[in-house]
Amino acid sequence: MRIDLSGRTALVTGSSQGIGKAIAKGLADAGARVAVNGRDAGKVRDAVAELTAQLPDADVVPLAADVTTTDGVDTLLAALPSVDILVNNLGIFGSQPALDISDEEWRRYFEVNVLAAVRLIRAYLPSMTDGGWGRIQNIASDSAIVIPAEMIHYGMSKTALLAVSRGFAKEAAGTGVTVNSVIAGPTHTGGVEDFVYQLVDKDLPWDEAQREFMRLHRPQSLLQRLIEPEEIANMCVYLASPQASATTGAAVRVDGGYVDSIVP
């Protein structure tokens, strides 16, 4: 399948590292102009430099802004008034005993993982529908369906994203704009390495620690390994393509078979 996103502009939030950076690379490699976003201007510049070194012909631009705030969104919209592809990848996660999660933490997870995405959809969806084409993706998680006992506040926020995606897909019905969620399974990123070592022996070498984590905490994975960010990106690039025109309102799984279900 040849995916050509030439002439399209994409924004990937939280894309200075991890899954977001892999998605940005995949979209740029398919020909899209891609805005790399994060709060730290230095990290954003470094990510853009890395991507342009890997893809010399790519059109990748830095866009430092904190999309969890209205001021940050205003800064972003001033620099990028419209996009064809929006990937809401930004998210926070961490483990905490259920009864120790404060009201403040519940609000923080909702505001960062859900409300930031809603804000950007509200901002960009009208121009997409006016133009008759657009792709919106919200990066969710297996934790949206299989709520982890050690981070139910994170699971709650990702479940909410599934509802947000389905609802806005209905808002965009018949316009040529698709809205989907991508259910990412346990994925190998720097942040996940830190998380793994919160739950297993810190003295274990990484390969052993990863196996122990999967055995104890994610035993239902059919891959029996962490997913690589590029594997998530492959699905996101497809969903951003013209070939995915009939997929909308969906929760598409890239979970390594983690969710024990025969339906998406």
Rounded Cα gap, residues 16 and 47, in angstroms: 5
Q: Going by DSSP bridges, is the β-strand pair 177-184/134-141 parallel, antiparallel, or unpaired?
A: parallel
Scanning 114-220, the segments in alpha helix (DSSP H) are 116-131, 152-171, 190-199, 206-217
For the sheet containing 59-64, what is the strand order?
A: 59-64, 33-38, 9-12, 85-88, 134-141, 177-184, 251-254
Gap between the Cα atoms of 59 and 30, Å rounded: 11
The amino acid at 142: D
CB within 8 Å of 196: residues ≥ 6 apart: 209, 210, 213
Q: Which two tokens stand for residue 18?
A: 């991890």
Both tokens of 136, joined, read 């919106």
- Using the structure block, give the residue that is written with the tokens 């705030």: 69
What are the Cα distances from residue 109, in Å, to 67, 134, 181, 237? 14, 27, 18, 27
CA atoms within 13 A on the CB side of 37: 26
79 forms beta bridges with none
Q: Which residues of 194-217 are buried (b: 16+ CB within 10 A; e: fewer)?
A: ebbeeebeeeeeeeebbeebbeeb
Which positions are annotated as active-site residues?
A: 154
Phi, psi of 164 (to 5 degrees): -60, -45
